[in-house]
Structure 1
């Protein structure tokens, strides 16, 4: 079975540097065999993806930014000394989309993060999900994604 690090190389994915928290929280909490990853913002080449879907951000760009949030989730796991091969299942993603009140393509935007998890983890990457439109996100980010992840019990 292919190691996740090998899979990332095969997909030509380099994980970003894990972002520091922007407020009073920790990026990852492990309780029992579950990792809870705080909401991650979309950094591409260390630049935050800001804007509002339905206004100045396209659905395609929103998907790219959601994918960047997913990459940051993986980076945060590694920064917390969690071996990505110990991921048993991506249980749930919550995707928050900064959008106008008439924007209705939150599920398409969320696919950026969801498809990344499937690409990296295969069937273990299939998950439950919420895709929610919101009027604002921290630092004017366009997307934010948090995760619940089952880990191999020790």
Structure 2
């Protein structure tokens, strides 16, 4: 078992089956030492979007549910990364996370929501998990999801 798999197990995290794209794109692109993962939604182990992760922050979704959704997005990012790499120990660094938060027009706590993703990346990868980040509030996300997160990883050859 890889070091990262052991860390996930110690956190009680089981990676789901990677979610198939819902439109005309690929789930990841591996080029050189970079792995780009397309935006992942807060899809659960059952392959479905929970009602708790549907809707808008500042509306039907509270900050803590949004943070949990962002955390789940990272779990789905790692499922895609494992499909791409075979072994998550090949991730040398989490370079960047991009967060899209489905918000009411006056909602301003998007950084707090995205911390659900950032905190988990650091918890799993330690210093290698510290990353650059962009977080934006948006008017809509696929399937009505509250949060979507994309990633860029530096990988060992």
| TM-score normalised to structure 1 length | 0.95
Deviation string for 1:107-140 (max 9, x for gaps)?
0000011011011111000000011000001111
Q: Whole-Å Cα distance in 2 between the matches of residues 87 and 20 of structure 1?
A: 22
Residue equivalent to 2:32: 32
Give the superposition deviation at 1:105: 0.5
Q: Whole-Å Cα distance in 1 between the matches of residues 33 and 72 of structure 2?
A: 25
Q: Secondary structure at the match of 2:29?
A: strand
Residue equivalent to 1:17: 17
Residue equivalent to 1:138: 142
Q: Whole-Å Cα distance in 2 between the matches of residues 81 and 136 of structure 1?
A: 31
| 4+ runs deviating over 2 angstroms | 44-47
| TM-score normalised to structure 2 length | 0.93
Residue equivalent to 2:93: 89
The match for 2:77 among 73, 90, 93 is 73
Q: Whole-Å Cα distance in 2 between the matches of residues 81 and 34 of structure 1?
A: 11
Residue equivalent to 1:110: 114
Q: Is the 8 A contact 2:30 2:84 kept in 1?
A: no
Q: Structure 1: where are the runs of 5+ without partners?
A: none
Q: Whole-Å Cα distance in 2 between the matches of residues 43 and 138 of structure 1?
A: 11
Are residues 1:121 and 2:125 paired? yes
Are residues 1:151 and 2:152 paired? no
The match for 1:61 among 55, 61, 65 is 65
Aligned length: 152
